[in-house]
Amino acid sequence: MIMNKKINSKSNLWDAIGINKYVLLGLLLVGSVSRIIYAHFFMEDATFLEKVVSPIISPLAILLYFAIIIWLDRRLEKVFPYDRYKIKRVVIQTMLSCLFLLPVLLLAIWYVIEYSNYEFNHLTISAAISGNIIFIAAINIALYGNYFFKNWQKTLLEAQQLAREKSDVEKNWAQMQYHNLINQLNPHFFFNSIASLDNLIKENPVLASEFLQQLSRVYRYILLNRDKDLVSIETELEFAENYFSLLKTRFGSAIEVVIEVDEDSMDLRVVPVTLQALVENAIKHNRMTKNEPLKIVIQTDENFLTVWNNKQMKKQVETSNKKGLANLRTLYSYLSPKELQIENQWDHFSVKVPLIP
Taking only the tens place, the pLDDT of each residue in 253-312 is 999 999 999 888 899 999 888 888 898 889 888 999 999 999 999 999 888 999 999 999
Cα 306 versus chain centre, distance: 30
Taking only the tens place, the pLDDT of each residue in 46-100 is 565 566 666 666 677 777 777 788 888 888 888 888 778 778 888 888 888 888 8
pTM check: above 0.75 = no
For residue 113, give every residue at least 6 positions away whose Cβ sits within 8 Å of its Cβ, in sequence order, or none. Answer: 120
Number of alpha carbons in the 13 Å side-chain half-sphere of residue 119: 1
Residue pair 347/311 in contact by the 8 Å Cβ criterion: yes
Reported as a pLDDT band with limits 50, 70 and 90, residue 5 is very low
Cα 67 versus chain centre, distance: 39
Taking only the tens place, the pLDDT of each residue in 145-201 is 878 888 888 888 888 887 777 766 666 666 565 555 555 545 655 666 666 666 667
Residue pair 211/243 in contact by the 8 Å Cβ criterion: no
Cα distances (angstroms) measured from residue 179 to each of 9, 182, 225, 229, 245? 50, 5, 11, 11, 23
Secondary element (H or E) of residue 301:
strand 294-301
Q: What is the pLDDT of residue 20?
A: 55
d(CA 27, CA 309): 74
Q: What's the average model confidence in pLDDT over 12-35?
A: 58
Q: CA-based diameter of the chain, in Å?
A: 122
For residue 215, give every residue at least 6 positions away whose Cβ sits within 8 Å of its Cβ, in sequence order, or none. Answer: 193, 197, 242, 246
Q: β-strands 348-354, 294-301: how paired?
A: unpaired
Taking only the tens place, the pLDDT of each residue in 195-248 is 666 666 766 677 777 777 877 787 777 777 767 778 899 999 988 888 888 888
* In the predicted structure, residue 323 carries a pLDDT above the cut 50: yes
As annotated, the residues of the chain forming the CATH 3.30.565.10 domain(s) are 204-354
CATH 3.30.565.10 fits 204-354, yes or no: yes
Residue bearing the bigger pLDDT, 184 or 346? 346
